[in-house]
Amino acid sequence: MTISPTKLSDPTVRAVVTAINANDKKAFLALLTPGATMSDDGSERNLEDWIDREIFDSHGHMEVQSESDGGRALVANFRNETWGEMRTAWRFAVDGGRVTRFETGQA
């Protein structure tokens, strides 16, 4: 079962998923704190390079399957033009309505 982004519990995470699915990099970046960090499959990545490659330049899209931790942990089918579709886990650290860190990887 897919959860509509409008039904996600955490408003910041809801806005992040909406920005990803709209391919709206400007809106996505506005949701991050200065110096926000991220990891992919347990490896630290350069956030700006990663989001360009994995989300915005390759038209990434999330279909959320489940949420936990108050909406800050998601399991989603993520697809992009580079890798196709894969089951992924996402965890977001949010402070003051903005993301300070996110971690993603295969679920």
CATH code: domain 5-106 is: 3.10.450.50
pLDDT of residue 71: 97
- End-to-end, the C-alpha distance of the chain in Å comes to 16
Query: What average pLDDT score do residues 12-19 get?
Result: 98
User: Which residue has tokens 């993520």?
Assistant: 78
Q: Domain limits of the chain?
A: 5-106
Q: Does the pLDDT value for residue 1 go beyond 90?
A: no
Residue 58 contacts residue 81 (beta carbons within 8 Å): yes
pLDDT of residue 89: 98
